């Protein structure tokens, strides 16, 4: 069969690759056939990943797309390797975000949640969840997530709610949950406490105000960016070693605008270099001041309510905190208390993640988890190797957080969420109720109105989704989970909480089996091609759904994976996604060529293989070993680089072209080429499937007529196929062809233009048997009568002599080369003059001098190249 003769039995592939036409149908086929459901085979090694649950309010953003792509790559490969794989999906109820969404919907109807009441409002949220929540789940299907949809979970479904109540009850009974007045992050808009991860810090413009407290010898100047909080000051603090204020420590000073007297105290927390070295202490409205207040037994005076409105008696009462700030400053100025001009000051300010309101530190009665014993266990699990963090250097950041963790505020002043299972009796009784217990009844009993922090339920995710606290089959088989994939930005907040709860909740299993996961793979943030953080204000945000629409899910996944290595930020660009689409098209065209030429997948005995066949098989098995190494070390960028380099740079650009010679010749050589074409393509598609599942599945089905690549066997590297001699021989052929192609281009010959040529000396080299292929690759005709050598090139020990007289305009080519040569000499001379100038060498920055030296060397090389080309041209007649 000739290279141009189609195989009538080959399944048809459209001439052009269209992702939209194949992706949806393939995904539904996979789901319908149950490929994503665990095999349950008792002799198969379990491999389990639980998905970091996206918010039920969310949609697929580029961070999700990266996270899900990495997880899917791991799961698809393990599935092909015969593991009993479970990738468990689900969503988080997202307390604050979801309540805000539904409240906005009510506002359109002129209602608030208080108009409905708690019970009806919660019913409305469940209704919203059923109708509009979970949009991201459909978007996960578009990306190709091979999750087991039959096990989908929600952080407020019945089973997970049971787990939450069980964990709260156990912690409470063990004295690890308590209620106390502490300072917490408070959102005056959402009217709830916030966890640290729900607070986003930004560098905001503020004003630093210097205020004089007291008079005469006892006066002291403090600097602050929040002048309004001075109404609640209960002390002024200085550093114990600050000699400037040693004579004032222990004395009292009058607080301006209030008439109250407050002590001057010494505390090591004070930074002597900040402002004046003296700071106002407001225990009720600053977390650091709260701790200073506890150390020195200072009173705590609240001066604003939950809305951020001033409550302190006096002229500022009723003002919003940001209205009160300039009003307080004006009052202080009128009394002559402002001792310096107010100056701009940029400082970190916390904002509510959900509504962007500036967070207010506030003393509040809340529920807390006593984290010290839990955090210690979570730290030990990483230190002793039961949990491995990738990359290892991230473990230091983990320890810095876990080893210094403060007690965790877990109560939220919301209506949507897991309600705290504590009841208060008419005579001060407090009863915590477990999931299998009846709450106390009777007159005067009320349940705590708060709900639990969303991170409480998501901290249970690895075990609650598998059935904990019940001893289910899934929990027995798949816990501990194998790998957790998440961004390094929530290493502290989520990973640490899961480690704490897993070790505590599963401690009956013993140390080795109580961890929630064996390995943690941390990826970085997705950035633009220049390494810049994505932001709407920068206009560089990527919408993965837009990429999927334009380039396909495979191209989107490949673009994200090609930049992903543990702990590193991931650069992406629209051009790279387009390039990934081109890569898929390249594979598509190679597969069409193979099918049209009757490619099979059964290899003949090695003795019947050509050098090119043995070369590509050797390269394939080196690739398999290399890819396995990269996969096992979670270096996804290197996986993509290795596969693309082989697929495009070796298989498509070289082997397919070399095979055309064998296919044209016919006979056993053609049969071998067909088998190698199909076999290599089959293995290549298997290797690439975890990253680009759709295009590889479509091509593999057409090539092999198999059931599905999803459940096909993962290829294995076999050393018997390695062939150093064949690799060296084809490397020499490629070097010859590459150099001659470059030389042809320099001579002004078009790529497809045929030129008479002699290959002098090839008969004495290992390339003698490849002359037909070399001539085909280089478009070289045998030398005919009247052959006139006009150009020649020596590559290794083969001289390629060309007769270009009849194929190029020598005069025009000479004119072009002479013009380029003149420009190169001009650039060289300009650089040489600078380098000969001592003033330039002595005064210019080192990088500028080095740049000029590089320009000079580049110009010299260009001159030599152009002069050689001119010399190779035929002499003018």
Give the pLDDT score at 494.
Answer: 84
Q: Which class for 764: exposed (0-12), middle (13-18), buried (19 or more C-beta within 10 A)?
A: exposed
Q: Which class for 167: exposed (0-12), middle (13-18), buried (19 or more C-beta within 10 A)?
A: buried
Asked if residue 756 lies in contact with residue 805, where contact means CB atoms within 8 angstroms, the answer is no
* Domains of the chain, residue spans: 24-163+456-546, 192-361, 547-722, 809-877
pLDDT tens per residue across span 235-275: 999 999 999 999 999 999 999 999 899 999 999 999 998 88
Give the pLDDT score at 860.
Answer: 92
**Phi-psi domain of 237 (left: phi exceeds 0; alpha: psi -120 through 50; beta: other):** beta
- Of 21-35, 598-612, 863-877, the range with the lowest mean pLDDT is 863-877
Tokens of 776: 């085909």
532 compared with 725, residue with greater pLDDT: 725
Buried/exposed code over 816-855 (b: 16+ C-beta within 10 A; e: otherwise): ebeebbeebbebbeebeebeeeeeeeeeeeeeebeebeeb
Q: Give the number of C-alpha atoms closer than 13 A to the C-alpha of residue 451, restricted to the C-beta side.
A: 22
Tell me how far CA of residue 589 lies from CA of 17, 600, 650, 695, 844, in angstroms. Answer: 8, 17, 15, 12, 53
Give the pLDDT score at 9.
Answer: 45
pLDDT tens per residue across span 499-510: 999 999 999 888
Distance CA(227)–CA(186), nearest Å, equals 19
Partnered with residue 533 across adjacent β-strands are 527
| Residues whose CB is less than 8 angstroms from the CB of residue 620 and which lie 6 or more positions away in sequence, other chains included | 646, 680, 683, 684, 721
Q: How far is CA 58 from the centre of its chain?
A: 17
pLDDT of 10 over the 60 cut: no
Give the pLDDT score at 874.
Answer: 67
- Tell which residue, 501, 508, 513, has the closest CA to residue 377: 501
Give the pLDDT score at 490.
Answer: 72
Distance CA(697)–CA(77), nearest Å, equals 14
Tell me how far CA of residue 336 lies from CA of 219, 344, 424, 527, 610, in angstroms. Answer: 13, 20, 52, 50, 96
Distance CA(85)–CA(484), nearest Å, equals 14
Q: What percent of the chain has pLDDT over 70?
A: 97
pLDDT tens per residue across span 184-217: 889 988 888 887 777 888 888 888 888 999 988 8
Give the pLDDT score at 341.
Answer: 67
- Tell which residue, 236, 225, 442, has the closest CA to residue 349: 225
Q: What is the 3-state secondary structure (H, E, C) of 77-105?
A: HHHHCCCEEEEECEEECCHHHHHHHHHHH
pLDDT band at 745 (very low <50, low <70, confident <90, very high): confident
pLDDT of 559 over the 70 cut: yes
Is residue 252 within a helix (H) or strand (E), and if so which, with residue range?
strand 252-254
Distance CA(52)–CA(147), nearest Å, equals 12
pLDDT tens per residue across span 527-550: 877 778 777 667 788 889 999 999
Token pair 């629209």 in the structure block, residue: 574
Q: What are the strands, taking DSSP E only, across 783-846? A: 791-795, 798-802
Give the pLDDT score at 6.
Answer: 37
**Superfamily (CATH H level) for 547-722:** Isoleucyl-tRNA Synthetase; Domain 1 (1.10.730.10)
pLDDT tens per residue across span 354-406: 788 899 899 889 999 999 999 999 999 999 999 999 999 999 989 988 998 88
- Of 121-130, 200-209, 644-653, the range with the lowest mean pLDDT is 200-209
Distance CA(30)–CA(701), nearest Å, equals 13
Asked if residue 655 lies in contact with residue 590, where contact means CB atoms within 8 angstroms, the answer is no
Give the pLDDT score at 237.
Answer: 95
529 compared with 148, residue with greater pLDDT: 148
Give the mean model confidence (pLDDT) for residues 423-452: 95
pLDDT band at 877 (very low <50, low <70, confident <90, very high): low
pLDDT band at 5 (very low <50, low <70, confident <90, very high): very low
CATH code for 192-361? Answer: 3.90.740.10
Give the mean model confidence (pLDDT) for residues 703-721: 96
Tell me how far CA of residue 653 lies from CA of 612, 646, 648, 734, 853, in angstroms. Answer: 13, 9, 6, 11, 37
Q: Which fold has domain 809-877?
A: Helix Hairpins (1.10.287)
Distance CA(107)–CA(113), nearest Å, equals 9
- Tell which residue, 243, 474, 203, has the closest CA to residue 351: 203
pLDDT tens per residue across span 793-852: 889 989 999 888 777 667 777 888 889 899 999 999 999 999 999 988 888 888 889 999
**Superfamily (CATH H level) for 24-163+456-546:** HUPs (3.40.50.620)
DSSP class of 491: I
β 199-213/798-802 pair status: unpaired
Distance CA(12)–CA(705), nearest Å, equals 12
Tokens of 91: 């969503």
Tell me how far CA of residue 313 lies from CA of 263, 301, 318, in angstroms. Answer: 22, 12, 9
Distance CA(601)–CA(511), nearest Å, equals 48
- Tell which residue, 344, 223, 348, has the closest CA to residue 274: 223
Mean residue pLDDT of the chain comes to 91
Asked if residue 774 lies in contact with residue 759, where contact means CB atoms within 8 angstroms, the answer is yes
Asked if residue 515 lies in contact with residue 381, where contact means CB atoms within 8 angstroms, the answer is yes
pLDDT tens per residue across span 443-484: 999 999 999 999 999 999 999 999 999 999 999 999 999 999
At residue 304, the 3 state secondary structure works out as strand
pLDDT of 871 over the 90 cut: no
Give the mean model confidence (pLDDT) for residues 114-120: 95
DSSP string, 119-151: HHHHHHHHHHHHHTTTHHHHHHHHHT----GGG
- Of 142-151, 194-203, 324-333, 540-549, the range with the lowest mean pLDDT is 194-203
Total Cβ atoms within 10 A of residue 5: 11
| Residues whose CB is less than 8 angstroms from the CB of residue 47 and which lie 6 or more positions away in sequence, other chains included | 75, 78, 83, 84, 85, 86, 482
Q: Phi, psi at residue 605, to the nearest 5°?
A: -65, 150
Rg (CA), the chain: 36
- Tell which residue, 389, 386, 626, has the closest CA to residue 486: 389
Tell me how far CA of residue 244 lies from CA of 11, 187, 221, 289, in angstroms. Answer: 88, 38, 12, 21
Give the mean model confidence (pLDDT) for residues 55-82: 94
pLDDT of 2 over the 50 cut: no
β 46-50/84-88 pair status: parallel
The answer to the question of whether 536 is labelled as a binding residue is yes
Rounded to two decimals, the pTM is 0.84
Token pair 């953003």 in the structure block, residue: 61
């Amino acid at each position: 069969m000739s290279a141009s003769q189609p195989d009538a039995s080959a399944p048809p592939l459209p001439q052009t690759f269209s992702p939209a036409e194949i992706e949806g149908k393939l995904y539904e086929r996979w789901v319908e056939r149950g490929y994503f459901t665990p095999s349950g085979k008792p002799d198969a090694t379990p491999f389990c990943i639980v998905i970091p649950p996206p918010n039920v309010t969310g949609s697929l953003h580029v961070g999700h797309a990266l996270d899900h792509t990495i997880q899917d790559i791991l799961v698809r490969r393990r599935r092909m390797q015969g593991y009993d794989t479970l990738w468990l999906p689900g969503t988080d109820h997202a307390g604050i975000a979801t309540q805000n969404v539904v409240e906005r919907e009510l506002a359109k109807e002129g209602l608030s949640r208080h108009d409905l009441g708690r019970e009806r409002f919660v019913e409305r949220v469940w209704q919203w969840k059923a109708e509009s929540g979970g949009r991201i789940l459909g978007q996960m299907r578009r990306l190709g997530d091979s999750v087991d949809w039959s096990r989908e979970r929600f952080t407020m479904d019945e089973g997970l709610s049971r787990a939450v109540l069980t964990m709260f009850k156990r912690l409470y009974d063990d004295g690890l949950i308590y209620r106390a007045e502490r300072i917490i992050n408070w959102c005056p808009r959402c009217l709830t406490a916030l966890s640290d991860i729900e607070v986003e810090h930004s560098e905001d413009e503020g004003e630093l105000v210097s205020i004089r407290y007291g008079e005469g010898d006892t006066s002291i100047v403090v600097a602050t960016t929040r002048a309004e909080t001075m109404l609640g000051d209960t002390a002024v603090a200085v550093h114990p070693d600050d000699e400037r204020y040693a004579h004032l420590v222990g004395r009292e000073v009058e607080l301006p605008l209030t008439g109250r007297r407050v002590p001057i105290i010494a505390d090591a927390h004070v930074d002597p270099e900040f402002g004046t070295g003296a700071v106002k202490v407001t225990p009720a409205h600053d977390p650091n001041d709260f701790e200073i207040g506890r150390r020195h037994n200072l009173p705590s005076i609240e001066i604003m309510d939950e809305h951020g409105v001033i409550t302190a008696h006096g002229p500022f009462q009723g003002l919003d905190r940001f209205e009160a700030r300039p009003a307080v400053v004006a009052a202080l100025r009128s009394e002559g208390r402002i001792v310096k001009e107010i100056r701009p000051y940029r400082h970190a300010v916390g904002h509510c993640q959900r509504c962007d309101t500036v967070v207010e530190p506030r003393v509040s009665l809340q529920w807390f988890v006593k984290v010290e014993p839990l955090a210690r266990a979570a730290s030990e699990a990483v230190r002793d190797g039961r949990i491995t963090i990738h990359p290892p250097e991230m473990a230091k950041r983990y320890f810095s957080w876990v080893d210094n963790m403060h007690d965790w505020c877990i109560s939220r002043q919301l209506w949507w969420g897991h309600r705290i299972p504590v009841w208060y009796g008419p005579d001060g009784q407090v009863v915590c109720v477990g999931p299998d217990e009846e709450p106390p009844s009777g007159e005067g009993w009320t349940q705590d109105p708060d709900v639990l922090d969303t991170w409480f339920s998501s901290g249970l995710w690895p075990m609650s989704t598998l059935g904990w606290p019940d001893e289910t089959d899934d929990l027995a088989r798949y816990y501990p989970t194998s790998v957790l994939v998440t961004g390094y930005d929530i290493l502290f907040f989520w990973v640490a909480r899961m480690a704490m709860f897993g070790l505590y909740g599963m401690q009956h299993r013993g140390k080795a089996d109580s961890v929630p996961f064996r390995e943690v793979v941390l990826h970085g943030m997705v950035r633009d091609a220049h390494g810049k953080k994505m932001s709407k204000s920068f206009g560089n945000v990527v919408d993965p759904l837009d990429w999927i629409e334009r380039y396909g899910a495979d191209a989107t996944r490949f673009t994200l994976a090609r930049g992903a290595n543990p702990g590193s930020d991931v650069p992406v660009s629209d051009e790279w996604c387009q390039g990934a689409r081109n890569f898929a098209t390249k594979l598509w065209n190679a597969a069409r060529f193979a099918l049209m030429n009757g490619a099979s997948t059964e290899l003949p005995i090695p003795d019947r293989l050509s050098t090119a066949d043995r070369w590509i098989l050797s390269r394939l098995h080196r690739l398999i070993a290399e890819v396995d190494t990269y996969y096992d070390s979670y270096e996804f960028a290197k996986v993509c680089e290795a596969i693309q380099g082989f697929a495009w740079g070796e298989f498509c650009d070289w082997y397919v072209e070399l095979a055309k010679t064998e296919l044209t010749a016919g006979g056993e050589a053609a049969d071998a080429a067909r088998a190698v074409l199909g076999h290599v393509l089959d293995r290549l598609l298997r290797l690439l499937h975890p990253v680009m599942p759709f295009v590889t599945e479509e091509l593999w089905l057409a090539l092999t007529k198999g059931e599905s690549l999803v459940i096909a066997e993962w290829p294995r590297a076999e050393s018997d196929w390695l062939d150093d001699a064949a690799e060296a021989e084809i490397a020499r052929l490629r070097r010859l062809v590459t150099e001659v192609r470059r030389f042809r281009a320099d001579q002004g010959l078009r790529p497809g233009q045929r030129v008479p040529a002699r290959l002098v000396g090839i008969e004495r080299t290992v390339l003698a048997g490849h002359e037909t292929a070399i001539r085909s690759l280089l478009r070289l005709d045998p030398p005919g009568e009247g052959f006139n050598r006009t150009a020649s090139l020596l590559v290794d020990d083969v001289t390629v002599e060309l007769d270009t007289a009849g194929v190029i305009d020598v005069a025009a080519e000479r004119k072009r080369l002479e013009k380029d040569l003149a420009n190169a000499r001009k650039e060289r001379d300009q650089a040489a003059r600078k380098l000969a100038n001592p003033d330039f060498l002595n005064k210019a920055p080192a990088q500028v001098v080095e740049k000029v030296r590089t320009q000079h060397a580049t110009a010299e090389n260009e001159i030599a190249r152009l002069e050689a080309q001119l010399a190779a041209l035929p002499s003018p007649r």
